């Protein structure tokens, strides 16, 4: 069966073929994807996944690719982008927002309305769905503090509501990471009324700090490792003398040791190998095993 023709026949949504994964990840590295599909809505998403399951075709949900390291091989399955699930409804301090909506865009939108609680997210380049999945956070706050419930597609392709207490939010972790068949479709976020001027000043202060301390001029995926208890990953990497260490086009940033940057021509393998080298070196020299925040895809 020609899966592309079948997807097009069912009018599921936009289909792209032989797409460079450099266009789909913030590392700007990796091979190609055979097929990327952007379903028009939740019903079409369900139809697509059922079709893929019936034909034993692998698939993966792809957000902004801000936490993914793809191998340099072709991804043979179907990557599913939820970019069409990008609705946003704001009612006082309660926001219902689709999984495909930009996290940064929502953080700035709510700030302009004088709503406080999302200031931490103005520098995180992911989607709402990806942010819930990772429990994205910064400045001692994260999605777990503001998400009251989410709409989820279960492995049985049923749409259900899961509440904050069900989602097991903790540092860079959620229920969704342990239950890969569940897909976030929509989040309900609850913020508080704040002072527009104070919110704006805080966001600008943090933006300036990021510009000074993070290598934003290079492709990266933000922090590579989780901070261990009572310590910082960057400090451990720095004391091991790894700042500036390179494999191919991938480099441990000289500006922030917990960032790995693509200096221009890094392959997925360069980034993958450098992450594992840093992890191994830190373990050997300090005894601390750093946990990788990012996800390796298609390395089997």
Report, as residue numbers or ranges, the catalytic residues: 172, 223, 293
What distance in Å separates the CA atoms of residue 191 and residue 120, rounded to the nearest whole number?
A: 12
Q: Which residues of 262-294 are buried (b: 16+ CB within 10 A; e: fewer)?
A: beeebbbbbbbebbeebbebbeeebeeebeebb
What distance in Å separates the CA atoms of residue 66 and residue 123, rounded to the nearest whole number?
A: 12
Beta strand ranges found along the chain (DSSP E):
13-20, 32-39, 59-62, 68-70, 75-81, 88-91, 94-98, 115-116, 137-138, 141-142, 147-153, 159-163, 183-190, 192-193, 246-247, 250-252, 260-262, 295-297
Burial class of residue 12, CB neighbours in 10 A (0-12, 13-18, 19+): buried
Non-local (6+) Cβ contacts of 234 within 8 A are 256, 257, 258
Give one DSSP letter per residue of 97-155, joined into a string.
Answer: EETTSBHHHHHHHHHHTTEES-GGGGG---BHHHHHHHT-EETTEEGGGTEEEEEEE-T
Number of residues assigned to the chain: 300
Q: Name the residue among 251, 244, 208, 232 with its Cα closest to residue 290.
A: 232
């Amino acid at each position: 069966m020609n899966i592309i023709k079948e997807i097009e026949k069912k009018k599921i949504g936009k289909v792209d073929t032989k797409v460079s994964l450099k266009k789909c990840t913030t590392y700007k590295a990796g091979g190609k994807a055979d097929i990327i599909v952007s379903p028009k809505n939740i019903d079409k998403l369900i139809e697509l996944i059922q079709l893929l399951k019936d034909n034993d075709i692998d698939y993966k949900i792809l957000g902004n690719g801000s936490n993914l390291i793809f191998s340099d091989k072709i991804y043979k399955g179907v990557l599913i982008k939820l970019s069409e699930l990008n609705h946003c409804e704001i009612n006082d301090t309660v926001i219902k927002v689709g999984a495909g909506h930009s996290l940064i865009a929502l953080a700035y939108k709510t700030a302009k309305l004088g709503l406080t609680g999302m200031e931490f997210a103005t520098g995180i380049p992911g989607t709402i769905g990806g942010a819930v999945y990772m429990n994205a956070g910064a400045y001692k706050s994260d999605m777990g503090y503001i998400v009251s419930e989410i709409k989820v597609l279960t492995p049985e392709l049923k749409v259900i509501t899961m509440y904050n207490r069900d989602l097991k939010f903790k540092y860079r972790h959620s229920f969704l990471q342990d239950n890969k068949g569940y897909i976030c479709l929509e989040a309900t976020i609850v913020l508080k009324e704040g002072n527009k001027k104070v919110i704006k000043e805080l966001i600008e202060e943090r933006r300036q700090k990021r510009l000074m301390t993070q290598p934003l001029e290079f492709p990266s995926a933000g922090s590579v490792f989780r901070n261990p208890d009572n310590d910082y990953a960057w400090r451990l990497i720095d004391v091991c003398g790894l700042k500036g260490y390179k494999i191919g086009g991938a480099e441990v940033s000289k500006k922030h040791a917990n960032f790995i940057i693509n200096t221009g021509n890094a392959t997925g393998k360069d980034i993958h190998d450098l992450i594992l080298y840093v992890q191994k070196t830190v373990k050997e020299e300090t005894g601390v095993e750093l946990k990788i925040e990012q996800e390796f895809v298609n390395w089997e």
